[in-house]
Amino acid sequence: RKVFSFLYLSAMHWIVSEEPPVPKLDVPSVEDLLLTQEYTSTTDKLQWLKIKLAITKEQIQQVAQLTAGQRNNHLWAMVRKNRLTASNFGPVLAAIRRNRFPPSLFKQILSSYDLSTKDAILWGITNKSVAREQYCSFGDAVVTETGVWLHESGVLGASPDGIIHRAATYNYSHQDPEVAELLEAIGLRPEIMEVKCPFSARNLTIQAAITSCKEIQTHNGKASYRLKQDHHYYDQVQGQLHILNKSACDFVVWTTKDIAIVRILQDAMWTPNMEKLDDFYFSKLLPIIQQ
């Protein structure tokens, strides 16, 4: 009877005990700001929003830590909501160049399309950890998961697939082979990782996949790979490098048969796109969010 009473009291204590505190994100929600009385009553709404959405370096670090795990972390989706993230930089920049902004673009950005059940999306989500593990076998590399990194404007963000603490030391190509020796000499190392697991090439070697794999190409016909600069993935990688303020990224393409690693430097020629993306957010995307 005493044992039963002890177990009963222990169970009751577990049931009525307080839930552990949920980490609080110290960043403003775009939606919440738009619903405040202060926003509705202010004269210069755009300027007010820009001030309220801007964040500090400390807030940027906190968000990245609390959203680690990406899709497995509910805070990750909360932070991304109503913000423009690097995976959509390519389509947005293409729309800016064409000066055409179809409804499908805004649906894609604001996640009105549910892609979570698509075979290609599921394949990528499932196998990114496998690709990271294989990458780490090339010279005892060390990579950890990370979360959403926001730009100081508070409206642009990026979620790389890993932070590289010790990079792969072999089996990689340089995006710019001409400067490879110089980079090796000065010891420049990649600090972030982006992984792609193309569903269409899942059972092919990288060399065999070149014809069907739109994002990657050989360099001068040799088995040295480059990310095509006119592909949306290049904009995604550059967006990550600029938002996180990192020098280089290892872009990883993984299949069940092979892996390719392309070391990509931050591109100064791409930098003006950050201002274009910021302008797109406030002039084109924000009015859609307000609706």
How far is the C-alpha of 155 from the C-alpha of 56, rounded, in Å?
13
Residue 268's pLDDT is 96
Q: How deeply is 188 buried, as exposed, middle or buried, from its count of CB atoms within 10 A (0-12, 13-18, 19+)?
A: middle
> What percent of the chain shows pLDDT beyond 70?
86
Better pLDDT: 211 or 284: 284
Average pLDDT over residues 81-91: 97
Residue with the two structure tokens 């972390």: 73
Q: From the CB of residue 274, how many other CB atoms can be counted at a distance below 10 Å?
A: 17
Model pTM score: 0.87
How far is the C-alpha of 264 from the C-alpha of 193, rounded, in Å?
10
Q: Range with the lowest mean pLDDT among 18-27, 96-105, 131-140, 143-152?
A: 18-27
Amino acid letter, residue 282: F
Residue 9's pLDDT is 54
Q: From the CB of residue 59, how many other CB atoms can be counted at a distance below 10 Å?
A: 17
Nearest Cα residue to 263 out of 271, 255, 274, 252 = 252
Amino acid letter, residue 162: G
How far is the C-alpha of 229 from the C-alpha of 218, rounded, in Å?
13
- Tell me the pLDDT band of 137, cut-offs 50, 70 and 90: very high
- Tell me the pLDDT band of 133, cut-offs 50, 70 and 90: very high
Q: How deeply is 123 buried, as exposed, middle or buried, from its count of CB atoms within 10 A (0-12, 13-18, 19+)?
A: middle
Task: State which CATH number among 3.30.1490.190, 3.40.640.10, 3.90.320.10, 3.30.420.40 fits the domain covering 30-290.
Answer: 3.90.320.10
